[in-house]
Structure 1
Amino acid sequence: MAIAMMVAVCVGLVLAGCQSGPREAKPFSASATAQPTNAQPSSAQPSTPSTVPAPPGTVHFTAQGDIGVSTGAKKVLDVIAGLQPQFNLALGDFAYKAGIEQQFCDMVKGKLGENFPYQLITGNHESDGSDGDIAKFVECLPNRLPGLQGEYGIQWYVDVPQADPLVRFIMVSPGINFKDGQPLDYSRDSERWRWTTDAIDGAASAQIPWTVVGMHTPCLSVGKYGCQPGQDFTNMLMEKKVDLVLAGHDHDYQRTHQLGVGGSCPGLQPESFSSACLMDTDQTMVKGAGTVFATVGTGGVGLYDVNDNDAEAGYFAAWSGRNRDPSLGTLDLRASADELSARFVPAEGDSFTDSFAIGRR
């Protein structure tokens, strides 16, 4: 309650202006044949967000997925509350049980405040309705970011701050099933592929300093899963030089070096490693050299094992799982005109940490 009262005082200072900070989308009825909405802003405005402003010229946000309603989830929400970000990116897999969507939403609001921007992209557990319904989560945790474009909860982008933006966030849903067990089509040159590439290219044309893509499924992994978003889609993100790609799904933390295509690396090949795709291998990287991929499936549910000997391990700078430095927690990120920086902040009782930064020349 004290946090909610404190952040309410700061309402008018943040995301609506956020100076020193593209339609409010209706809930989505998922189906394999659903197409992206046209990217026109509606006249509806999100309710006033309850947030604490970042320093002038900074965007401060957190990100994690695979949450649940257990003690672990509540501990991670406590971490987020203590960090006081402007908003949070929830990277899918929320309640893990059908019929308790409102319980999940009440848990989030109880920890972060009634109007905190807890921004959703669906995971596989709610995309097909088996363990919850993304439309119900969207209803009780609606978009709070002004200027959002697309299908909130499924495929959307937003520039933050809305005026003179520092970051374009592009949230998509490749590699997971929707109604009737069918995935949405993100294959090369499909409508959703073109929507994504247009959003990335639009950020570059608008000279927005940073582009962050978020989705539920990762491609590269030393954990449980293979490349569910698809090799072509992943290589496209690298070819476009997206700065950071965030994912969940694997219940662990994994962060790659800065990876890029071109020259001796024509593209990533899942389940293999090529040192030619490594653009930078320290913690301080340069914008435009490549892409960093971070899986943050540490939002509260039980962790998976990680494999130090995985074929793709050479791409990774850091990882944590059930059998190695197990830690729930969140990625804490800040963006200014000159730098995008991140650190993993563990939940109470855990100790794993990681940090990295991408700077502009």
Structure 2
Amino acid sequence: MARSLGKRGKAGLGACLLILSLLLSACQPGPPEPAPRPSPGTPSSGSAPGPGTPTSGPAPSSGEAVHFTAQGDIGVSSGAKKVLDVVAGLRPQLNLALGDFTYKAGIEQQFCDMVTARLGGDFPYQLVTGNHESDGHEGDIEKFVQCLPNRLPGLQGEYGTQWRVDVPEQNPVVRFIMVSPGIDFRGGEPLDYSRDSERWRWTADAIDGAKSQNIPWTVVGMHTPCLSVGNYDCQAGKDFTNMLIDKKVDLVLSGHDHIYQRTHQLARGGDCAELVPATFTSGCLADTGNSMNQGSGTVFATVGVGGVGLYNVKSDDPEMGYFASTSGKNRDPAFGTLDVTATADQLAARFVPAEGYTFTDSFTLRRR
């Protein structure tokens, strides 16, 4: 009888312990939630990447750096391939091709294949026309934009001729504005970028819009420069250039002259009523250092060294006083690319030479 009661007691005690154990387990915190996966990048078109392909990954989010390269006057020779190899090694998120691609009609696809073999079929190799393909005689911009189409979301305008885009699309760090003043199109007619023309207003509105939206940096690109110590005069137009300075564009990029040249930071006001081509006015120099403050003026950089024959730098050119750095056939010659990284606080740029060249340059703009 006592043994029977003992068994029941042990059984009852075991049940109580089991129930208590289950209750304690239920009160313990469960395993941590898995970390959310990063948002996927731009869907791939299925093109196989070439050797050295820049794997830029997803578009940057707010606060991340925007990394881009820029050069013009490219061709299809070994020089062009060396410069593309430099771009591939830098692994930027996009490249601005500043016009003059093949210098010959009928080989547009060859040029596109050269680019995609090194940078990948989905890489944003973003085009603005030069004079050699604008009228179709030595290449056709319409064919180039078919085989190297826009790869950036949110682009507005006519890709290849006049367009703008914010990068990244949400909470952007840079607004890119690409225009085509000073070059002839079909029929020998240039696009009208004269004061208060439709294209002038479009450009001005794009710059003003970036500032009103508090986009940290504004970069304007075009094929033709105004200031130059190479072969050409102010083909971009004096009034248009002064408008870019008045609106305090941070960086203006161009090609056309087959040299590298980078100005000091330029501004109007005081002793500089306006920037007049083919002259030099010291009052237009806002800052002559390599580390400059945003809003003090505009830096102009010509990167016409993408792979074709170089031009001489003319040291006796009256505009030479505006330039902080130059490279050409007769002065530190180099093919290469401008390499730029922009964050919410600064825009840092450097010239990176192709294999076999040594010339370099660097400058920084900082937000106050």
TM-score band w.r.t. shorter chain: 0.7 to 0.9
Counterpart in 2 of 1:303? Answer: 310
| Pairing partner for 1:164 from 143, 151, 171 | 171
| Pairing partner for 1:3 from 42, 52, 63 | 52
Distance in 2, matches of 1:3 and 1:181, equals 40
Structure 1's consecutive aligned runs of 4 or more residues displaced over 4 angstroms after TM superposition are none
Counterpart in 1 of 2:195? Answer: 188
Counterpart in 1 of 2:344? Answer: 337
| Structure 2 counterparts to residues 161-310 of structure 1, below 5 A | 161-310=168-317
How far off is 1:3 after superposition?
3.1
Counterpart in 2 of 1:33? Answer: none
Distance in 2, matches of 1:268 and 1:3, equals 43
3-state SS in 1 of match to 2:83: helix
3-state SS in 2 of match to 1:312: helix
Counterpart in 2 of 1:19? Answer: 61
3-state SS in 2 of match to 1:185: coil
Counterpart in 1 of 2:162? Answer: 155
| Structure 2 counterparts to residues 60-71 of structure 1, below 5 A | 60-71=67-78
Distance in 2, matches of 1:273 and 1:210, equals 27
How far off is 1:203 after superposition?
0.3
Residues 224-245 of structure 1: per-residue CA shift (max 9 Å, x gap)? 0000011000000000000000
Distance in 2, matches of 1:347 and 1:311, equals 30
Residue 202 of structure 2 aligns with an amino acid whose one-letter code is W
Runs of 5+ unmatched residues, structure 2: 1-49
The answer as to whether partners of 2:51 and 2:118 remain within 8 angstroms in 1 is no
Distance in 2, matches of 1:177 and 1:121, equals 14
3-state SS in 1 of match to 2:88: helix
Task: Report the RMSD for the aligned CA atoms in angstroms.
Answer: 0.9
Distance in 1, matches of 2:96 and 2:329, equals 23
Distance in 2, matches of 1:195 and 1:234, equals 15
Counterpart in 2 of 1:146? Answer: 153
Runs of 5+ unmatched residues, structure 1: 21-55
3-state SS in 1 of match to 2:249: coil
How far off is 1:2 after superposition?
4.5
Distance in 2, matches of 1:245 and 1:261, equals 16
The structure number with the bigger radius of gyration is 2
How far off is 1:306 after superposition?
0.6
3-state SS in 2 of match to 1:110: helix
Structure 1 residues 2 and 303, CA, compared in 2 at 3 Å: closer, same or farther?
A: closer
Structure showing the higher helix proportion among its residues: 2
1:91 aligns with 2:98: yes
Distance in 1, matches of 2:179 and 2:281, equals 27
Residue 244 of structure 1 aligns with an amino acid whose one-letter code is L
Distance in 1, matches of 2:121 and 2:245, equals 37
Residue 274 of structure 2 aligns with an amino acid whose one-letter code is G
Distance in 2, matches of 1:236 and 1:155, equals 17
| Structure 2 counterparts to residues 29-68 of structure 1, below 5 A | 57-68=64-75
How far off is 1:253 after superposition?
0.0
Residues 87-121 of structure 1: per-residue CA shift (max 9 Å, x gap)? 00000000110000000000000010111100000
Counterpart in 1 of 2:327? Answer: 320
1:352 aligns with 2:368: no
How far off is 1:339 after superposition?
0.3
Distance in 2, matches of 1:135 and 1:274, equals 41
3-state SS in 1 of match to 2:206: helix
Distance in 1, matches of 2:121 and 2:208, equals 35
Q: Percent identity?
A: 71
3-state SS in 1 of match to 2:81: helix
Distance in 2, matches of 1:324 and 1:138, equals 34
The answer as to whether partners of 2:51 and 2:119 remain within 8 angstroms in 1 is no
Distance in 1, matches of 2:361 and 2:52, equals 27
The answer as to whether partners of 2:52 and 2:85 remain within 8 angstroms in 1 is no
Residue 198 of structure 2 aligns with an amino acid whose one-letter code is E
Distance in 1, matches of 2:206 and 2:308, equals 32
How far off is 1:266 after superposition?
1.1
Counterpart in 2 of 1:34? Answer: none
* TM-score of the superposed pair, with normalisation by structure 2: 0.86
Structure 1 residues 222 and 2, CA, compared in 2 at 3 Å: closer, same or farther?
A: closer
